[in-house]
């Protein structure tokens, strides 16, 4: 059975523009003038003679100017901090907790500047994993849109003044018996909670309301109904053999995605004798990252989900002896039968999750897990998860209180309801009824805009803080830079207003830990020693006794009757994207430019629709439609997205910010109005949607995927677990080339001498990367990690549209289709038709494959031989080097690269007002890695395999007179990868992990038949599917 891969809908539909452009090696629009014309700069045409004149003059001018070297100053510290050595980074353990993601991190600082975030391997929760948002958070520190001082009624003020005013007003409101509300996002900081309770003690009318834009209230309620306690349990996906997820995108957004991605990655590894894979079923309506990685993906409309869960419950109950409930039949019942069997077979080693915010659905899911005996093994109700604790009902109550005039003051801390409200205008009107409105936002965001006082919070890299992510799993947050602006920690503001005598948050946290955390350990007798240890590690793990058996006390039958019923007609599903999530970090250009893992669209959100459905509705890519749900209406463009459920429109939250800063304002549109409060909970899908087509029909997206054609060759290899168990080389047959002596391997047919060639015998090191396609989930953490490490510029939507993105690492996403050479004959297709059909998916549920592609560091590099100035050459340790200062920008190398990984600097992206991102202001430039050159216009660049890290690690080893240890040096992508799919190492070290992996039969080189002999290798993707094994297509 053979498969064809296709790159996108454009190719699939033989879009005339695509057909015209696909024959060009580079999918881009020339000439350059188009870009220049937008500023009318090219009005005056410059002739060749003028050009020569200018050239002559500028050479002369440059020579003259160069004669007088500029005087550079060197200003040492007046008092150098003892721990700082210029040029040597310091690492500090800290915690990223923005209410949406939680991650224990290490902050790399250089000369007191945080420049890179790494995962903290000591954490038992995230275990060194990160995601794109965590990686990008360092850039938010240097955001010019941050407020630089407190503001009162839109005027700059001082802390003393604003504190006096606020304290007086709060006292006034409390005295009048008016309610005071502190609205926060999910709160799991012990000291933060203590500060809140201190505040409430001072103002007895005060209360704490937790409001998350993306709420898990339904889960809390569901667990309360099931087990009598309003908690979220901890999940151990790594212990699960069968994973069933109902629209829970646990690899990207759901609950604790960083932790789950690391756990999931472990279940997808076939290393060190491990010969089992988890089996992952995903039920969903839009194509999520988790769905793309699922072994079996089942498409359902959002409203069908409850019925499917009920049906699954009945089937599991039938097999385990539980009581069945009333359930309607669903079209998926046949699949559910086998899934139920799989689940029961893996009793105690499975996990069922639901992303729904409906408490009754969560009760059903809990019941399934309980029947399967998962509590106590893969799910733990004793080690509770504190990451999400929003209270939809409490927030709704607050809103109605505010409307009724009973609320005297409201404080918003790390929450932005004016943006996330279903009806922003109504929210503004409600808020206007509150006399005292205070925002602790770090910028004048949508909510701060309509507040009286803004008391800007520090960035987390400037803050002291703590977190208890799970019961007993504590972590600390410490400042890694002095506050850049006249801002103040939000907790400290509360302490001030509570009238605390000691408002120093550091001392406050210490005292919290001294009284409540320190007693949980018994190893150390001195608090100072304990504190220093915890601060150094960033974490503290308390041991606690796990309670007895879990008993399920929920009423399944009652819950089943309350479940949502399948609806007919168009439905809408809202979700979060990998980059922006809920939109809190909306001004981060790195995240905007991160191609969405699935759609590969940058700088936009859209209405994703199944192509067949779009055709039926008369929409095409770029058609702007208006979606109406109840009284809300949202306008946006259509994006054709294969694998969507029929009659379903999916749209991402987090876009359409209006007050977050210049990079993020008015990018995309706001989809929060489509989120409504139904049945006391926030509902993230809607039925009964009305859709109108507007006259606009030509919205363009900045897509990265179709730019880099692989000319129809197979680059991703896959097989099934069953086939792999039989033959470890399954799906990975050697690529042979026809020769007079019969088929030969590219190595044997090599044009180049290998052994005798100087430089090819790598004596010292032979660096390389191994990428396991089986554990790569395509999340994009590596892309942002690379951005931060290698000073990759942001180019903006316009330039991405011209295929000029600068990312050194891209993640290719391929859809597979079901027409194969074998079944084409059955269908009676001719050769031409067969290939035409192979470009179309036979079913509308294609499989998805991800493949990270960076410079392959070919040992016989095609780029090196064509460079006229020898700017790209090979090193004796196997790296393809790029000397920017030697490059003259002919781009021959990019033309000759079979992998299309070279990037050309069409413009100077730093200090250029055309690119108003972080490299254009002195504050944003502080994030730059001082060990990596900022490239200028007209030079080629590409992945250097983090040569600066290699050099640094090697030098460390040399200084200590030893060989570098395996794993000591890691590229940024490998270190940032949440699933450890990327491994860096030395092939010359026989004991290194990479040498071990390379020996594995799943290993292959990308386009091996080209004979470029890359230093990067991939490992076949192995699906755990019951269907027939798939074989790759070889032309």
Partner 1 sequence: MLRYVYRILTINVLALSLIVIFQTSAKAQPNGEALFKANCTACHVVGDDVVVGPGLKNVHIKYKEDWLIKWIRNSQALIKSGDPQAVKVYEQFNKVAMTSFNLSDDEIKSLIGYIKTTSEAAPAAPTPASGTEVAAGSGAEDGNSSLTLMLVTLTLIVLFVILNRVQKGLQRVADNRNGIPEPVKLTGKAGLKAWIRGNKKLIAFLFIAVSVLGSVAGWNALAGIGINQNYAPDQPIKFSHQLHVTQNKIDCRYCHSGAEKSKNAGIPSPNLCMNCHKYVKKGPKYGTEEISKIYEAIGWDVDAQQYTGKTKPIKWIRVHNLPELAYFNHSQHVKVGGVECETCHGPVGEMEVIKQFSPLTMGWCIQCHRDTPVKMEGNGYYSAVHEKYKEKYGPDAKLTVEKLGGTECARCHY
Nearer to partner 1, 368 or 947 (CB): 947
294: contact with partner 1 by CB under 8 A: no
Shortest distance in whole angstroms from residue 986 CB to partner 1: 12
**Contact pick of 16, 20, 47, 87 for partner 1 (by CB under 8 A):** 87
Nearer to partner 1, 639 or 893 (CB): 893
**Contact pick of 40, 69, 545, 695 for partner 1 (by CB under 8 A):** 69
991: contact with partner 1 by CB under 8 A: no
**Contact pick of 30, 40, 78, 549 for partner 1 (by CB under 8 A):** 78
What is the rounded distance in angstroms from the CA atom of residue 968 to the CA atom of residue 974? 12
Q: Which of residues 953-982 bind partner 1 (CB under 8 A)?
A: 954-955, 957-959, 961-963
Nearer to partner 1, 727 or 761 (CB): 761
879: contact with partner 1 by CB under 8 A: yes
Shortest distance in whole angstroms from residue 75 CB to partner 1: 5
Shortest distance in whole angstroms from residue 962 CB to partner 1: 5
Nearer to partner 1, 397 or 873 (CB): 873
Edge-to-edge strand list for the sheet holding 5-6: 5-6, 810-816, 848-853
Nearer to partner 1, 175 or 870 (CB): 870
What is the rounded distance in angstroms from the CA atom of residue 406 to the CA atom of residue 399? 10
Shortest distance in whole angstroms from residue 71 CB to partner 1: 6
Q: Which of residues 853-872 bind partner 1 (CB under 8 A)?
A: 871
What is the rounded distance in angstroms from the CA atom of residue 105 to the CA atom of residue 123? 9
CA 927 to chain centre: 20
Nearer to partner 1, 11 or 931 (CB): 931
How many residues interact with partner 1 (rule CB under 8 A)? 49
Nearer to partner 1, 323 or 865 (CB): 865
What is the rounded distance in angstroms from the CA atom of residue 14 to the CA atom of residue 1? 24
545: contact with partner 1 by CB under 8 A: no
Shortest distance in whole angstroms from residue 968 CB to partner 1: 12
Shortest distance in whole angstroms from residue 880 CB to partner 1: 9
Taking CA atoms, 226 is separated from 244, 564, 806, in Å, by 19, 18, 50
Nearer to partner 1, 75 or 695 (CB): 75
Per-residue contact string for residues 885-904; x = within reach of partner 1 by CB under 8 A: xx------------------
Torsion, CA 80, CA 83, CA 84, CA 88, rounded to 10:
160
Shortest distance in whole angstroms from residue 954 CB to partner 1: 8
74: contact with partner 1 by CB under 8 A: yes
- 470 contacts 383 by C-beta, under 8 angstroms: yes
Taking CA atoms, 395 is separated from 182, 211, 243, 453, 466, in Å, by 11, 6, 33, 21, 25
Taking CA atoms, 382 is separated from 104, 123, 217, 493, in Å, by 21, 19, 19, 34
> Residue 352: phi, psi to the nearest 5?
-120, 130
CA 254 to chain centre: 12
Nearer to partner 1, 63 or 526 (CB): 63
What is the rounded distance in angstroms from the CA atom of residue 1002 to the CA atom of residue 998? 8
- 202 contacts 498 by C-beta, under 8 angstroms: yes
What is the rounded distance in angstroms from the CA atom of residue 678 to the CA atom of residue 683? 6
Q: Which of residues 335-374 bind partner 1 (CB under 8 A)?
A: none
- 584 contacts 445 by C-beta, under 8 angstroms: no
Nearer to partner 1, 775 or 944 (CB): 944
Helix axis angle, 781-790 relative to 132-141, nearest 10°? 30
832: contact with partner 1 by CB under 8 A: no
Nearer to partner 1, 69 or 738 (CB): 69
What is the rounded distance in angstroms from the CA atom of residue 722 to the CA atom of residue 730? 9
Per-residue contact string for residues 189-228; x = within reach of partner 1 by CB under 8 A: ----------------------------------------
What is the rounded distance in angstroms from the CA atom of residue 819 to the CA atom of residue 4? 7
Report the alpha-carbon angle 474-475-477, nearest 5: 150
Nearer to partner 1, 167 or 876 (CB): 876
**Contact pick of 51, 54, 57, 77 for partner 1 (by CB under 8 A):** 77
Helix (H) or strand (E) holding 427: helix 424-432
**Contact pick of 423, 875, 890, 912 for partner 1 (by CB under 8 A):** 875
Pairing of strands 232-235, 379-385: antiparallel
Shortest distance in whole angstroms from residue 973 CB to partner 1: 16
931: contact with partner 1 by CB under 8 A: yes
**Contact pick of 42, 167, 678, 876 for partner 1 (by CB under 8 A):** 876
Which residues, 6+ apart, have CB-to-CB distance to 279 below 8 Å? 241, 242, 243, 295, 296, 342, 346, 1024
400: contact with partner 1 by CB under 8 A: no
944: contact with partner 1 by CB under 8 A: yes
755: contact with partner 1 by CB under 8 A: no
763: contact with partner 1 by CB under 8 A: yes
Q: Which stretch binds partner 1 (CB under 8 A): 39-47, 85-93, 533-541, 549-557?
A: 85-93
932: contact with partner 1 by CB under 8 A: yes
User: Which three-class secondary structure string do you get for 323-389?
Assistant: CCCCCCCCCCHHHHHHHHHHHHHCCCCEEEEECCCCHHHHHHHHHHHHHCCCECCCEEEEEEECCCC
Shortest distance in whole angstroms from residue 914 CB to partner 1: 22
The residue count of the chain comes to 1035
**Contact pick of 67, 545, 695, 738 for partner 1 (by CB under 8 A):** 67
What is the rounded distance in angstroms from the CA atom of residue 100 to the CA atom of residue 567? 31
* Closest alpha carbon to 466 in 94, 768, 179: 94
72: contact with partner 1 by CB under 8 A: yes
Shortest distance in whole angstroms from residue 87 CB to partner 1: 4
Shortest distance in whole angstroms from residue 86 CB to partner 1: 4
**Contact pick of 76, 273, 548, 990 for partner 1 (by CB under 8 A):** 76
> Residue 384: phi, psi to the nearest 5?
-75, 150
90: contact with partner 1 by CB under 8 A: no
Q: Which stretch binds partner 1 (CB under 8 A): 262-270, 662-670, 840-848, 941-949?
A: 941-949
Nearer to partner 1, 83 or 698 (CB): 83
881: contact with partner 1 by CB under 8 A: yes
88: contact with partner 1 by CB under 8 A: yes
The DSSP code sequence of 516-578 is IIGGG--S-S-HHHHHHHHHHHSEEE------S-------HHHHHHHSPPP--S-EEEEE-BT
Nearer to partner 1, 65 or 546 (CB): 65
What is the rounded distance in angstroms from the CA atom of residue 834 to the CA atom of residue 632? 46
Helix (H) or strand (E) holding 786: helix 781-790
Q: Which of residues 105-144 bind partner 1 (CB under 8 A)?
A: none
**Rg (alpha carbons) of the chain, rounded to whole number:** 29
User: What are the residues facing 297 on neighbouring strands?
Assistant: 282
Shortest distance in whole angstroms from residue 148 CB to partner 1: 23
- 99 contacts 186 by C-beta, under 8 angstroms: yes
Q: Which stretch binds partner 1 (CB under 8 A): 68-76, 112-120, 141-149, 205-213?
A: 68-76
Nearer to partner 1, 72 or 753 (CB): 72
What is the rounded distance in angstroms from the CA atom of residue 380 to the CA atom of residue 549? 10
Which residues sit at the interface with partner 1, rule CB under 8 A? 63, 66-67, 69, 71-80, 85-88, 761, 763-764, 871, 873, 875-877, 879, 881-886, 931-934, 944, 947-948, 951, 954-955, 957-959, 961-963
């Amino acid at each position: 059975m053979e498969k064809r891969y296709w790159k996108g809908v454009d190719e699939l539909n033989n879009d005339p523009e695509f057909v015209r452009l696909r024959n060009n090696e580079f999918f881009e629009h020339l000439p350059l003038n188009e870009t220049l014309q937008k500023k009318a700069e090219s009005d005056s045409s410059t002739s060749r003679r003028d050009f020569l004149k200018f050239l002559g003059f500028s050479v002369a001018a440059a020579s003259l100017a160069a004669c007088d070297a500029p005087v550079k100053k060197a200003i040492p510290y007046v008092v150098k901090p003892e721990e700082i050595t210029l040029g040597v980074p310091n690492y500090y353990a800290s915690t990223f907790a923005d209410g949406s993601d939680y991650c224990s991190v290490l902050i790399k600082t250089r000369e007191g500047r945080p420049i890179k975030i790494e995962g903290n391997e000591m954490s038992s929760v995230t275990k060194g994993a990160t995601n794109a948002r965590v990686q990008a958070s360092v850039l938010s520190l240097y955001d010019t849109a941050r407020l630089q001082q407190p503001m009162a009624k839109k005027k700059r003020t001082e802390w003393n003044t604003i504190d006096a005013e606020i304290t007086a007003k709060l006292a006034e409101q409390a005295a009048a018996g008016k309610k005071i509300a502190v609205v926060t996002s999910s709160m799991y900081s012990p000291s933060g909670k203590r500060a809140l309770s201190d505040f409430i003690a001072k103002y007895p009318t005060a209360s704490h309301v937790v409001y998350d834009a993306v709420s898990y209230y339904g889960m809390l309620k569901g667990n309360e109904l099931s087990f009598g306690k309003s908690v979220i349990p901890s999940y151990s996906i790594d212990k699960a053999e069968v994973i069933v997820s109902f629209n829970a995108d646990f690899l990207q957004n759901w609950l604790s995605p960083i932790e789950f991605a690391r756990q999931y990655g472990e279940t997808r590894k076939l290393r060190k004798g491990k010969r089992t894979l988890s089996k992952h079923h995903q039920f969903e309506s839009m194509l999520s990252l988790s769905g793309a990685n699922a072994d079996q993906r089942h498409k359902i409309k959002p409203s069908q989900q409850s019925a499917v869960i009920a049906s699954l419950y009945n089937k599991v109950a039938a097999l385990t002896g539980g009581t069945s409930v009333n359930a309607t039949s669903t079209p998926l019942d046949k699949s559910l039968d086998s899934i139920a069997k799989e689940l029961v077979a893996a009793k105690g080693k499975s996990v069922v999750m639901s992303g729904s915010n409906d408490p009754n659905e969560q009760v059903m899911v809990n019941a399934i897990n309980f029947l399967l005996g998962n509590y106590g093994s893969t799910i733990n109700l004793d080690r509770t998860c504190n990451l999400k604790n929003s209270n939809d009902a409490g927030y709704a109550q607050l809103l109605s209180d505010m409307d009724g005039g009973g609320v005297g003051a409201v404080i918003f801390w790390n929450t932005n309801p004016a943006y996330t409200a279903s009806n922003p205008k109504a929210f503004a009107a409600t808020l206007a009824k509150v006399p005292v409105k205070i925002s602790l936002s770090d910028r004048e965001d949508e909510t701060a805009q309509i507040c009286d006082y803004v008391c800007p919070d520090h960035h987390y890299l400037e803050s002291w803080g703590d977190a208890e992510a799970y019961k007993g799993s504590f972590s600390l947050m410490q400042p890694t830079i002095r506050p850049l602006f006249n801002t103040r920690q939000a907790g400290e503001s509360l302490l001030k207003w509570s009238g605390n005598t000691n408002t120093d948050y550091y001392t406050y946290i210490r005292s919290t830990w001294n009284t409540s955390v320190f007693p949980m350990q018994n190893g150390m007798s001195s608090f100072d020693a304990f504190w220093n240890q915890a601060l150094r590690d960033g974490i503290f793990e308390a041991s606690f006794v796990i309670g007895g058996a879990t008993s399920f006390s929920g009423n399944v039958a009652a819950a089943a009757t309350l479940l949502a019923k399948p609806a007919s007609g168009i439905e809408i599903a809202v979700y979060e994207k990998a980059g922006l999530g809920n939109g809190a970090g909306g001004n981060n250009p790195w995240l905007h430019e991160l191609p969405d893992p699935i759609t590969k669209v940058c700088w936009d959100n859209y209405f994703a629709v199944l192509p067949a459905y779009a055709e039926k509705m008369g929409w095409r890519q770029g058609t702007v439609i208006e979606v109406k749900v109840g009284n809300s209406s949202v306008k946006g463009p259509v994006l054709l997205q294969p694998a969507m459920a029929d009659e379903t429109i999916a749209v991402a939250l987090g876009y359409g910010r209006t007050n977050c800063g210049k990079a993020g304002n008015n990018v995309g549109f706001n989809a929060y109005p489509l989120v409504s409060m139904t049945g006391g909970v926030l509902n993230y899908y809607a039925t009964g949607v009305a859709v109108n087509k507007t006259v606009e029909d030509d919205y363009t997206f900045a897509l990265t995927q179709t730019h880099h054609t692989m000319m129809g060759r197979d680059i991703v290899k896959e097989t099934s677990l069953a086939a792999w168990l039989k033959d470890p080389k399954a799906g990975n047959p050697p690529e042979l080339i026809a020769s007079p002596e019969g088929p030969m391997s590219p190595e044997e047919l090599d044009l180049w001498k290998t052994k005798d060639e100087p430089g090819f015998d790598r004596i010292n090191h032979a660096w390389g990367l191994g990428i396991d396609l089986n554990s790569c989930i395509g999340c994009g953490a590596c892309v942002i990690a690379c951005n931060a490490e290698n000073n990759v510029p942001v180019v903006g939507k316009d330039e991405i549209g011209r295929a000029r993105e600068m990312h050194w690492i891209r993640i290719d996403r391929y859809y597979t289709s079901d027409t194969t050479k074998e079944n084409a004959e059955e269908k009676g297709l001719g050769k031409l038709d067969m290939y035409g059909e192979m470009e179309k998916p036979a079913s509308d549920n294609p499989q998805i494959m991800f493949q990270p592609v960076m410079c392959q560091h070919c040992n016989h590099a095609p780029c090196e031989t064509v460079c006229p100035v020898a700017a790209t050459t090979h090193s004796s340790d196997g790296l393809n080097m790029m000397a920017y200062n030697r490059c003259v920008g002919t781009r021959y190398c990019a033309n000759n690269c079979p992998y299309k990984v070279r990037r050309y600097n069409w413009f100077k992206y730093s200090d250029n007002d055309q690119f108003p991102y972080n490299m254009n202001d002195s504050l944003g430039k502080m994030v730059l890695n001082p060990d990596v050159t900022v490239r200028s216009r007209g030079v080629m660049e590409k992945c250097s395999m983090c040569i600066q890290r290699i050099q640094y690690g090697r030098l460390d080893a040399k200084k200590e007179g030893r060989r570098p240890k395996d794993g000591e040096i890691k590229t940024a992508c490998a270190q940032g990868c949440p699933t450890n799919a990327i491994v860096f190492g030395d092939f010359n070290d026989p004991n290194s992990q990479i040498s071990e992996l390379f020996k594995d039969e799943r290993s292959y080189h990308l386009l091996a038949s080209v004979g470029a002999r890359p230093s990067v290798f991939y490992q076949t993707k192995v699906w755990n599917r019951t269907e027939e094994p798939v074989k790759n297509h070889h032309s």
